[in-house]
Structure 1
Amino acid sequence: MRPGNLFINAVAAAWFLSWTPHAIAAIKAPSTNIPWLAAAAPTDIDTAFAQARAQNKPVLLYWGATWCPPCNQLKATFFNRQDFAQAASGFIAVHVDGDRPGAQKLGTRFKVGGYPTVVLFSPEGREITRLPGEADPERMMAVLRLGLSGGRPMADVLADARAGKPLPTGAWRMLAFYSWDTDQDQLVAEADRPDVLADLARKAPAGDVDVATRLWLKAVAASDDGKGLKADAAVRARVQAVLADPSAARRHADVLSNNAPELLRALSEDGSAERKPLVTALDAALQRLARDATLSRGDRISALIGRVQIARLGLPRDAVKVDLPAALVNEVRTHVATDDREIRDGYERQAVITAGAYALGQVGLWAESDALLQANLARSHSPYYLMSQLGGNARKQGRTDDALRWYGEAYAKSEGPATRLQWGTGYLSALVDLAPKDARRIEQTAAQLIGEAAQDDGAFSGRSARVLQRLGRKLSAWGGDPAHAGVLQRLQVQLDGVCAKVDAADRAACSAVLKPAAS
């Protein structure tokens, strides 16, 4: 054994002994009102589809993670619904948590990457649709019902729609409310999405205004940064009509809230005559949504964050000290304090309080953001997520030592193989950026991550593979200094030992992790 590997193997061994027993036990089903089949291996999926074929039922697959705020939003607002539980008699429910050993391979198999993704399959395994988890629960439920009532695979529906073939109203609504945000290039390549959505909007039936409206809004939202649609007066008029109609804005609240700056940039140039009236109308619509008690708290804080993003247009994206309207700053402070005081559900708290802390920072209330996160650490089932936010806050404010301490603690407290790789890579990135001369700590962290990857059958698939690729790129940039060559060589030796033992299908991905660094 090479001398440099003694340290590396000691780190990996210490981690394995301390982490393995508790990481998987923390995973819970998305809800207790229906029977969920927990899946992490191909045999689990085979069992689910065999049951589906025997009972002639579709399969509903939920792909998520314990820490993920949008996943917790679904648990707090959708999976716990009575009508969802009633509908469950018509499908086989499968839960794939990305942190179950090997689960990332299932993510690759089903082409799901972003948490959360909810997919409805036919009993034979054809994908029918991806449910819009970003929409309000009622809309999501409506799409699920359409899919359960004989919905055709969206790939077939899309092909017919683009060919100009007649479609029933339900098929058009499934197209409009398909989860384009989690499509993963299944139906349309991301670069082509704005044009395809606009084409669908033009072909949508005139009798269902909501369908065309949704498609136009999604097309515009996907056209940011100069790609996609070229805004014209007609498109701006369509969006203005939605903003002026409280009911229409409520029905498409998710698009307006989650894409506020993108919509403005796609519809108007900076400083143009068209920008100001659009800003005024969009801000007014979002203000109504942020105060709409019929929306979930998660949707309301999203609308408020949309207002903040509008107010920050023209500022550097990483601006820390900002001078925003006092009324908006006070509204954020009051809104977040109310949420913190009133929320009782743990899932809702994980989703909403983390968003509230982000909003406080974006309006310049960094001390209040930090205080909120620290006060909620003991109340969170995934405190490491909040710790990473605290690290981000400290980093933005130039508090390097605090940032590294929080990132390190977040990694140390994180649970689950995929999550630990993600959080560990975040810590490593911070070390490289903020403490590049601390070669020992960088090597120790990288060695530990490689050691953890060796223990997870899915480490070189799906999200985890992409995380490890980021690790390699980061080390490559840092390794440009000849003084670090020895570190990279020792890490490569360790990685070679891991790659020799992984499945043949994953060996290329494993070997490529440090290739940029080695070269």
Structure 2
Amino acid sequence: MIPSLMAALLATSFASLPVLAADAKASASAHAAQNGIDWRKDNNVDAAFAQAKASNKPLFLYWGAIWCPPCNQVKATIFNRQEFIDKSRHFIPVYLDGDTPGAQKFAAQFKVRGYPTMILFKPDGTEITRLPGEVDSERYLQVLTLALNTSLSVQDTLKLALAGGKTLKNEDWSLLADYSWDDPEQKLIAGKDLPATLLKLSELSPAGLHATRLYLRGIYAAATAKPGQALPAIDKAQASEKILKAISDANTARDNMDLLSYGAGEVTEFLTTVKSDSRNKLVRAWNVALVKLADDATLSKTDRLGAVGAQVALASLDNAKPEAALQKDVQKRVGLIEQATTDAYERQSVVNAAAHALGDAGLLDDADALLKAELKRSHSPYYFMSTLGSNAKKRGDKVAAANWYEQAYDAAKGPATRLQWGSNYVSNLVDLAPNDDARITKAVQSVFGEAAKVDNAFYERNRAYLEKMGKKLIDWNKEGKHQVAYQKARTQLDGICGKLPATDPQKAVCQGVLLKS
């Protein structure tokens, strides 16, 4: 395929940005303020809670990873702000990186999986709130301030709210509206009950922005529910009108920019039918709001690109790909924002958002040019290699896709990250080269070999990735066509499981990785 002119221009532009020591110094300078945060990085969470209890301070748990784009976004827009640094004096800040020893086990204990997750606890370990990483920095700091000043746990706040909320203050409703409800690990409300509960909370909440935000969250939860999940009765025409009203108000749209950007496609598809007047009306109004968000200089660059991506999602609902005019607009916005981003943390987030916007718009060559140029600049290039693999897979280039996933695994750093990238490589390899038993066997042996060296190989994110890989291998051999390769994997895994103590919760997980459900 001949690259588009835009892709060529992007490749030239990005390649001309040298990796200089000055870039690293500028990034370090921009984030020097983070040194003012007295992060605990010793992985001794028990000691951290003891410190919180002794000092009668809340504990702030940050769970992240070096490569994670949203984590880098938080570092670039929140943790470096003096206001956050000042507030950190009022809590015990704990920095838990997913690749550090024991981190995955702690993740299972505190019910955190997705990066980043940020939780504020009372000194006794009771959860005050899960802070939303997707909102802008001003909103985030407002939520943090409210959380630091509340005397209620989030469980108590929710209980009182569902009982009618007569004793709750406006600040309490604000915390509920901004709670990280889309975190699959939150245990306040079971996933199957989430849409109905959020919609009920929106009815109980005093009229205003909090009620609107809870309603939008409820509709989004319904739109993204698992297939076959029972949903509350929703008048979709009425819901469409309520959302039209919300997105047509500039203040409301700005206040809910995260939901407008990341839920546009799913909600519109859920509430309206293909090429209907109601869909066209909702899409037009939504696009007006999204253009304003994309142009809003008070938003982060990543958030502005999120609005661009949402336009692409809406345009793709009833069409194979967006029209040329929108593609050109995406190219222009991506180019301007990318060129204006020099900070290393922010680039990890911006380039990720830009590549997805380009790829979703059908501009895979442009996305690849951006990503390949970034490999030389990024502190975690393996993340972008995986996206290059995904792009090649979309093109139908199975050889290139498998090679990119392999390169990503080879370049990955950190014990947990390597396990997860390796599992992802195997899972994709089964799809891309199912008859290459030798290559699949080699990859599986490598992943299990690393699992044998990691103390917490079968906890939390590691567990989820290994179980997904195991399911792929079981399905791959369901007719017994790859029995030799499969048996080698079983034998190697049995050896790992056999060395785990009978009392170790990991043992049952390990044994279940290659067991048919």
Contact 1:357 1:370 in 2 (8 A): yes
Q: Distance in 2 between matches of 1:242 and 1:146?
A: 24
Equivalent in the alignment of 2:11: none
Distance (whole Å) between structure 1 residues aligned to residue 186 and residue 160 of structure 2: 18
Q: Which residue number in structure 1 is paired with residue 27 of structure 2?
A: none
SS of 1:128's partner is strand
CA distance in 1 between partners of 2:151 and 2:292 (Å): 34
Contact 2:385 2:404 in 1 (8 A): yes
2:452 counterpart of 1:448: no
Check 1:194–1:482 CA distance in 2 against 1; reply closer, same or farther (3 A cut): closer
Residue number in structure 1 paired with 2:105: 105
1:120 and 2:120 aligned:
yes
Structure 1 residues 386 and 232 mapped into 2: Cα distance closer, same or farther (>3 Å)?
Answer: closer
Aligned to 1:201: 202
Using the alignment, how far apart are the partners of 1:404 and 1:107 within structure 2? Answer: 30
Q: Give the aligned partner of residue 141 of structure 1.
A: 141
SS at structure 1 position matched to 2:513? coil
Post-superposition shift, 1:39?
4.7
Could you tell me which amino acid in structure 2 is paired with residue 38 of structure 1? K
Q: Which residue in the other structure is 1:458 paired with?
A: 456
Distance 1:29 1:119 in 2: 24
Secondary structure in structure 2 of the residue aligned to 1:349: helix
Residues in 2 aligned to 1:230 and 1:266: alpha-carbon distance in whole angstroms: 11
Q: Which residue of 1 aligns with 2:216?
A: 217
Runs of 4+ in 1 over 4 A off after TM superposition: none
Matches within 5 A, 1:8-23: none
- Contact kept, 8 Å, 2:424 with 2:465, in 1: the verdict is no
Correspondence list, 1:157-176, <5 A? 157-166=157-166, 167-176=168-177
User: TM-score, normalised to structure 2's length?
Assistant: 0.90
Matched, 1:383 2:374: no
SS at match of 1:482: coil
Structure 1 residue 502 displacement after superposition: 2.5
Q: Aligned-pair distance for 1:29?
A: 11
Deviation at 1:237, TM superposition (A): 2.6
Offset of residue 339 of structure 1:
2.0
In structure 2, distance between residues paired with 1:362 and 1:301:
12
Matched, 1:277 2:276: no
- What corresponds to 1:89 in structure 2? 89
The letter of the residue matching 2:449 is: G
- Conservation of the 8 A alpha-carbon contact between 2:269 and 2:317: no
Report the Cα distance in structure 2 between the residues aligned to 1:29 and 1:220, rounded to whole angstroms: 41
Q: Structure 1 residue 270: deviation in Å?
A: 2.6
Question: Could you say if the C-alpha distance between residues 228 and 455 of structure 1 is closer, same or farther in structure 2, counting changes exceeding 3 Å?
Answer: farther
Contact 1:217-1:239 at 8 Å conserved across structures: yes
Structure 2: how far apart are the matches of 1:235 and 1:203?
A: 17
The one of 241, 244, 264 equivalent to 2:268 is: 264
C-alpha distance in 1 between matches for 2:115 and 2:233: 28
| Cα offsets for 1:288-323 (capped at 9, x unmatched) | 1011111000110000000000000035xxxxxx44
- Describe how 1:16-415 pairs up with structure 2 within 5 A: 31-40=34-43, 44-166=44-166, 167-182=168-183, 184-206=185-207, 209-224=208-223, 227-228=231-232, 230-315=234-319, 322-415=320-413
Kept after mapping to 1: 8 A contact 2:118/2:131: yes
In structure 1, give the amino acid aligned to 2:215: W
For 2:88 and 2:232, how far apart are their aligned partners in 1? 39
Cα distance change on mapping 1:398 and 1:218 into 2, 3 Å: same
| Contact kept in structure 2, 1:102 and 1:456, CA below 8 Å | no
Instruction: Work out the CA distance in 2 between the residues paired with 1:266 and 1:72.
Output: 32
Amino acid at match of 2:96: V
Output the CA distance in 1 between the equivalents of 2:223 and 2:33: 34
Letter in 1 for 2:256: H
Give per-residue Cα distances to partners, 1:327-368, cap 9 Å, x unaligned: 211111011111221111111100011111111111121111
Distance verdict in 2 for CA 1:184–1:368, change over 3 Å:
same
Q: Which amino acid aligns with 2:217?
A: K
Contact 1:192-1:228 at 8 Å conserved across structures: no
CA distance in 1 between partners of 2:267 and 2:449 (Å): 44
- Partners of 1:29 and 1:95 within 8 A in 2: no
How far apart are residue 480 of structure 1 and its match?
Answer: 2.6
Aligned residue identity for 2:276: S
Deviations 1:5-25 (A, max 9, x none): xxxxxxxxxxxxxxxxxxxxx
Is the alpha carbon distance of 1:232 and 1:512 closer, same or farther for their aligned partners in structure 2, counting shifts above 3 Å?
closer
Q: Flag the 1:405–1:29 CA change in 2: closer, same or farther, 3 A.
A: farther
**Cα displacement (A) at 1:234:** 3.8
Partner of 2:6: none
Whole-Å Cα distance in 2 between the matches of residues 91 and 442 of structure 1? 48
Matched letter for residue 197 of structure 1: L
Conserved? CA contact 1:390–1:403, under 8 Å = yes
Aligned residues between the structures = 479
Tell me the equivalent position of 1:319. none
Could you tell me which residue of structure 1 aligns to residue 5 of structure 2? Answer: none
User: Quick one: distance in 1 between partners of 2:41 and 2:186?
Assistant: 26
**Residue 422 to residue 232, structure 1, CA distance change in 2 (3 Å):** same
CA distance in 2 between counterparts of 1:383 and 1:149 reads 40
Using the TM superposition, give the Cα deviation of residue 201 of structure 1 relative to its aligned residue in structure 2, in angstroms: 0.7
Whichever residue aligns with residue 191 of structure 1, its letter is K
Counterpart Cα distance in 2 of 1:234 and 1:202: 14
| Residue deviations 1:135-163 (CA, integer Å, cap 9, x gap) | 11111111111111134111111011101
Identity among equivalent pairs (%): 45
Distance, in Å, in 1 between the alignment partners of 2:338 and 2:206 is 44
d(CA) in 2 for partners of 1:99 and 1:493? Answer: 27
- Residues 225, 265 of structure 1: 8 Å contact kept: no
Report the alpha carbon displacement of residue 74 of structure 1 after superposing the two structures with TM.
Answer: 0.7
CA shift for structure 1 position 269: 2.6
Letter in 2 for 1:215: L
2-side partners of 1:267 and 1:39: how far apart?
48
* Cα RMSD for the two superposed structures: 1.8
User: Which of 482, 485, 498 pairs up with 1:484?
Assistant: 482
**2:194–2:218 contact (8 Å) kept in structure 1:** yes
Relative to structure 1, the CA distance from residue 29 to residue 506 in structure 2 (aligned partners, 3 Å threshold; closer, same or farther) is farther
The 3-state SS of whatever aligns with 1:182 is: coil
Q: C-alpha offsets along residues 16-54 of structure 1, whole Å, 9 cap, x if unaligned? A: xxxxxxxxxxxx9994330111154xxx01110111111
Matched, 1:498 2:496: yes
Please report how far the alpha carbon of residue 287 of structure 1 lies from its aligned counterpart in structure 2 after TM superposition: 0.9
Q: Distance in 1 between matches of 2:197 and 2:363?
A: 41
* Worse overlay, 275-284 or 147-156: 147-156
Which residue does the alignment assign to 1:19? none
CA contact (8 A) 2:315 2:321 kept: no
Distance 1:47 1:30 in 2: 25
Structure 1 residues 380 and 225 mapped into 2: Cα distance closer, same or farther (>3 Å)? Answer: closer
